[in-house]
Amino acid sequence: MDQTFEKRKKVIFDFISDDFYVPMKIKEIAAVLQISREQRDELKEVLDALVEEGRIVLSKRGKYSRGRAERLKGLFQANVRGFGFVTPEDGGEDVFIAEENLCGAFQGDEVEFVITAAPSGRRREGKIVRVISHSVTRVVGLYEKCKSYGFVRPDNQRYLNDIYIPAGRDGGAMTGHKVVVELTSYGGEHMKPEGTVTEIIGHVNDPGTDILSIVMDMGIRTEFPEKVLEQAARVGKPVSEADRAGRKDLRGWQMVTIDGEDAKDLDDAVSLVKEGENYCLGVHIADVANYVQERSALDKEAFERGTSVYLADRVIPMLPHVLSNGICSLNAGEERLALSCIMTIGPSGEMLDHEIAETVICVDKRMSYNGVARILEGEEEVLHENEEVVPMILQMKELSDILRERRGRRGSIDFDFPETKIILDENGKPIEIKPYERNAATKIIEDFMLMANETVAEEYFWRDVPFLYRTHDTPDEEKIRQLSTFINNFGYHIHVRNEVRPKEIQKLLGKADGTPEEALISRLALRSMKQARYSTENTGHFGLAAKYYTHFTSPIRRYPDLQIHRIIKDNLRGRLGEGKIAHYAEILPKAAVQCSMKERTAEEAEREVVKLKKAEYMRGRIGEEYDGVISGVTRWGIYVELPNTVEGLVHVADMRDDHYEFVEQDYELVGAHTGRTYKLGQSVRVCVTDADKVQRTVNFEIV
């Protein structure tokens, strides 16, 4: 083995490529080639290099054989426990990457990898052979200063290493500062990543620093460029006579907005008139496309943001406030430009006719969800204050019930479990966490918006023009089988044939309705679903059991809605010729990917802020006891959800009354000696033992 490294590789490769070669382990190859024990490490280096180049294959049993492993590309996602997964660019299932096979990959990297475990196994396994490019260039974390250097502990637990900050590159940061670090080196097997502090967000204990750190870590834009603000100020002028030209005048129609009490960007208004047995429903959406022209600075900024982000203490808008809270907000008593979907609906909820038109409107009254709910409950004071719109509100409830019942008949799934409402004080400290339930008013608006979205999607599908749809694919069979196993613990079952149908999930939720485990069953069912996304192909919406669906109703806060408004307006004005069609066919695929990605980022930011504030809230309640329900069972412990929606972990190491073993097929922890069982949906009493704001976790012990 005294040849050069390349010559050694050729010798070994020729040996393994020989027709008489059979797969061997390293010690067998060494024995055949008479390579001494002392030279075994050199042989291992050669074999590793050949595997990395894809020229030979290493089996799970440690045997080397000829054959070229196909090199694939994908995105790497790290796990806090050291291993990771690669999402292949062809859209296949994620591939598990063991810690020793990471090849120095960093969270979010585009990588080249090979499959090392047989695809017939339960999970594909692979090895990263090359990092193609780094997607993460900035990291947010907590700075700690040492004598002549410092390091940053990343907030995102998927960044597996602290980041070394050499002397003179700390930007003036001190221990306890939350900072933004520009990465200069991504490290490797034996080296930490390095970086330079480019921004100090604030001290870890300063109000608002915690949420701002999450926002900046996600790469969410918080400030608008000056050019964008100037353009917004120029276009945000009151409605003029020229603006009204050619539009359907609906200023005499009675209509209202119904939103949360603190909402400022009101992008939808509704009107309703009953004509005999039929209903004339109007869904009137702010004509944002009139003010945000394609390719303008405003449009480019909105495209980059993709969506508004709603967090516990702030809203990060897609458009500047002068538009989102001003001329594009359908404020009561003010003329506004709109895109209206006017539908004639029969007594059983069937669509009889519809019109989509550019309009000018004037909202009569701003209503809140709570105010409408109180009208429907018959509160005298509220009925008197709103007497001019009460008849319309009552008819809206009537139509809403009809539409909801019709959707239910076709199999639409209604995940009716409470979201989390977090109340903060003036310093951003959580003072109350509680479930936020939908009421009759939120359901009215939901039903009307769904109807408009379906109507618009169907019309433009049959027009056969480029369009953006909101799609939701059929769940994977494996996920549904797992759900079936989960719910068997409660005595429920679902029929899993060749393909699960929405009605099966709907029936399950109907059976669980009103039971203690209702919220848990809803969450488990939701987790078994695929994520909805934006697409240029209309493949239907599984959850809504809808053949056609799009997002038409929120152009102030969602870019896809704004984009399809442009297509609709071009069609209404007769401008959807071959050139425009070719243009939209070219740009919409990229818009679909961008909007889906930005939606995921916003959702993740919202989730992380909720987890952060829950941990902060429970930090002040260590030692207190609560009744909860087991919401998850794993080999490392059980997750318990409290009535206020806080979820925490009872680690198996803290279950000291027995040695508990995880029974995977039943998702149960069973005591080896006592036989005591912990399973999903079971009520338990727990004590809060720890809450970590940095890790965003809560820990319990069984009382």
* pLDDT number for residue 497: 67
The continuous run of DSSP H or E covering 511 comes out as helix 502-512
* pLDDT-derived band at 120, boundaries 50, 70, 90: very low
Averaged pLDDT for residues 470-481 = 88
* pLDDT-derived band at 192, boundaries 50, 70, 90: confident
Q: Are 43 and 12 in contact (CB under 8 A)?
A: yes
Classify 681 in phi/psi space as left (phi over 0), alpha (psi -120 to 50) or beta: left
CATH no. for 5-66: 1.10.10
**CA 283 to chain CA mean position, Å:** 27
* pLDDT-derived band at 68, boundaries 50, 70, 90: low
Asked whether the predicted pLDDT for residue 153 surpasses 80, the reply is yes
Bigger pLDDT: 451 vs 524:
451
Bigger pLDDT: 101 vs 167:
167
Asked whether the predicted pLDDT for residue 314 surpasses 80, the reply is yes
Asked whether the predicted pLDDT for residue 187 surpasses 90, the reply is no
Asked whether the predicted pLDDT for residue 55 surpasses 80, the reply is no
User: How far is Cα 160 from Cα 163, in angstroms, rounded to an integer?
Assistant: 10
Q: What pairing do the DSSP bridges indicate for beta strands 138-145 and 150-154? A: antiparallel
- In the CATH hierarchy, which top-level class contains the domain 620-702? mainly beta
Greatest Cα-to-Cα distance within the chain, rounded to the nearest angstrom: 99
Please check whether the two domains, 5-66 and 620-702, share a CATH topology. no
Most confident of 162-171, 180-189, 502-511: 162-171
Averaged pLDDT for residues 651-659 = 94
Domain boundaries, the chain: 5-66, 72-133, 138-206, 226-473+530-609, 620-702
Averaged pLDDT for residues 692-697 = 89
Q: Per-residue pLDDT tens for 364-392?
A: 999 999 999 999 999 999 999 999 999 99
Asked whether the predicted pLDDT for residue 145 surpasses 50, the reply is yes
* pLDDT number for residue 122: 57
Q: CA separation (Å) from 313 to 219, 262, 620? A: 18, 12, 20
Sole residue written with tokens 């097929």:
665
Averaged pLDDT for residues 107-118 = 80
Tokens of 271: 């009107």
Asked whether the predicted pLDDT for residue 699 surpasses 60, the reply is yes
Lowest model confidence (mean pLDDT) among 433-437, 518-522, 558-562, 601-605 = 518-522
Q: Per-residue pLDDT tens for 243-291?
A: 999 999 999 999 999 999 888 899 999 999 999 999 999 999 999 999 9
Asked whether the predicted pLDDT for residue 692 surpasses 70, the reply is yes
* pLDDT-derived band at 123, boundaries 50, 70, 90: low
CATH homologous superfamily for the domain 72-133:
Nucleic acid-binding proteins (2.40.50.140)
Averaged pLDDT for residues 314-334 = 95
Tell me the whole-structure pTM to 2 decimals.
Answer: 0.83
The chain-wide mean pLDDT, for the chain, equals 91
Averaged pLDDT for residues 461-483 = 91
Asked whether the predicted pLDDT for residue 225 surpasses 70, the reply is yes
Q: Are 143 and 198 in contact (CB under 8 A)?
A: no
CATH no. for 138-206: 2.40.50.700
* pLDDT number for residue 69: 64
Q: Per-residue pLDDT tens for 429-449?
A: 999 999 887 889 999 999 999
**CA 195 to chain CA mean position, Å:** 29
* pLDDT number for residue 386: 95
Euclidean distance between the first and final Cα of the chain, in Å?
65
User: How far is Cα 524 from Cα 518, in angstroms, rounded to an integer?
Assistant: 10
* pLDDT number for residue 1: 43
Q: Are 372 and 444 in contact (CB under 8 A)?
A: yes
Q: Please count the residues of the chain.
A: 703
The count of other CB atoms within 10 Å of the CB of residue 657 is 10
Could you say which DSSP state residue 552 is in?
-
* pLDDT-derived band at 91, boundaries 50, 70, 90: low
Averaged pLDDT for residues 322-340 = 96
* pLDDT number for residue 477: 81
**CA 354 to chain CA mean position, Å:** 33
The count of other CB atoms within 10 Å of the CB of residue 16 is 20
Sole residue written with tokens 């680690």:
651
Averaged pLDDT for residues 92-117 = 83
Asked whether the predicted pLDDT for residue 3 surpasses 60, the reply is no
